[in-house]
A and B are shown apart, each in its own frame.
Chain A
Amino acid sequence: MKALNIIYNGLVKQNPTFVLILGMCPTLGTTSSALTGLSMGLATLFVLICSNVAISALKNFVPDKVRIPAFIIIIASFVTVLQMVMQAWLPALYGALGIFIPLIVVNCILLGRAESFASKNGVIASACDGIGIGLGFTCALTVIGALREFLGTGCIFGAHIYPESYGSLLFVLAPGAFIVLGFLIAIFNRLTNKA
């Protein structure tokens, strides 16, 4: 029950994209289609779970003063593992996400969760937190990607819904990323009655 609570918390109440407004760079940069958004979300989810587990397991062995450098080394090494694995077996996807894969290292979500959750809680709770926050991020990226793809090209996950020529290319381009995200955050604010 507690585990489910932690996951729900990450998915909705503390959704990293719509509520905490963290990790904006990949959110805007990799959501030109639903598929790239989903893949970026899953890549971040993987690193987040691994780093949360590793950090919560090691938290009693790391002195306070070198806490942050130790966290950065752990996160960066999982990112490097992900980079090598994707390059080897998913080269096309690696090419599509490009620089945003190594940049997972500086995604504020990871260091934020390490500092505020994993360094204070047990391994299982930290894993759940990683799953919740990671899924929240993945869902947000997929929704943004799907919306931009739908408005821009008339497809969702490459499946045609309406003819491409009616789409507005603007939404696939850079400005569309900002505009779609802006409206989605506003809608999320309205629905959760935060404002």
Chain B
Amino acid sequence: MIEYIAIIITAIFVNNIVFAQFLGICPFIGVSKNLDSAIGMGAAVTFVMAVATCVTWILQYFVLVPLGLAYIQTILFILVIAVLVQMLEIIIRKISPSLYAALGVFLPLITTNCAVLGVAIIVTQKDFSLLQSIVYAVSTAIGFTMALTIFAGIRTQLALYDIPRPMRGVPAALLVAGLLAMAFMGFSGIKIG
């Protein structure tokens, strides 16, 4: 039990996917202009990351490793994620139009979100079990959503200020991200269990 709590706390705070591992930066900068889209993106990523990690884990340990094909991991994983995102889009549209209305626009963007592929590869490098992998994927995605929401909140405020022209937009956003990363560094060194 304590082991799972350690995975959750580490993935959300200590090794936050955005601020400590630098994954998923593109949507982080691109989609964080207002709170609603930040939460929508976060939910879509959580969903895809959990499903993708589960599927790629099973493929890795029941297909690639027994066949000695571990070297095609990268190529297989990215294809699986691309197909999965397409399938999820179709399924969600069929069974829940309201969910589709909320998440639909974000789904195509997720294929090239490196956090999804990143997590799928990281869990195989860490030798996690299937359950550990899913817990890790979900908590990483929660960490991502949290980073996105905090950042969107700050950016809506930032838009109201008179910033020197060359600093407007991305540069100012990056400086804010730097300060947030500094705050998140306060979590490092936490000991669980």
- Residues of A near any B CB (own CB < 8 A): 21-22, 24-26, 28-29, 69, 72-73, 76-77, 79-80, 83-84, 99, 102-103, 105-108, 111, 170, 173-179, 181-183, 185-187, 189-190, 194-195
Contacts and interface: CB of A to CB of B under 8 A. Distances in A.
Contact of A102 (B25, B73, B181, B185): B73
A176 B179 CA distance: 9
B26 A108 contact: yes
Interface residues of B, number: 44
Contacts of A77: 75
B113 interface: yes
A99 B78 contact: no
A175 B165 contact: no
Contacts, number: 121
B23 to A, nearest CB: 6
Interface of B: 19-26, 29, 71-75, 78-79, 82, 111-114, 117-118, 121-122, 125, 164-168, 170-175, 177-179, 181-182, 184-185
Contact of B181 (A21, A103, A175): A175
A195 B165 contact: yes
Q: Which 7 pairs show the lowest CB-CB distances between chains A and B?
A: A182-B174, A178-B178, A29-B22, A24-B25, A76-B75, A179-B178, A189-B166
A28 B22 CA distance: 6
